[in-house]
Amino acid sequence: MSDTAGPLAAGAISALVRAIENEFAANPPTLCLIGLSGVGKSSTINAMFGTNLAVSATTRGTSRFSARTFDIISRRTEAAPVTCKLKVYDAPGLGEDETLDANYLERYRTHLPKCDVALWVVAARNRALALDQRYLAQLSDKMPNLVIGINQVDLVDPLDWNTAINMPSRGQADAIAIVARDRHEKLSRYMTADCPVIAYSAQRFYNLQALFTTCLKAAPKNRRWMFELLKSFSTRDWLAQAKGLSPTQRAALAEKYIASDSAITLDQLAGRV
What pLDDT score does 7 carry?
42
What pLDDT score does 272 carry?
81
What pLDDT score does 125 carry?
95
What pLDDT score does 38 carry?
86
What pLDDT score does 233 carry?
94
What pLDDT score does 21 carry?
96
Tell me which residues of the chain have a pLDDT lower than 50.
Answer: 1-8, 57-62
What pLDDT score does 96 carry?
79
Q: Does domain 7-270 have CATH number 3.40.50.300?
A: yes
C-alpha pair distances (Å), 152 with each of 46, 53, 110: 15, 18, 29
What pLDDT score does 152 carry?
98
pLDDT digits (tens, 9 = 90+) for 27-68: 999 999 999 888 999 999 999 999 987 665 434 444 567 789
pLDDT digits (tens, 9 = 90+) for 84-117: 999 999 875 667 787 888 888 898 999 999 999 9
What pLDDT score does 94 carry?
67
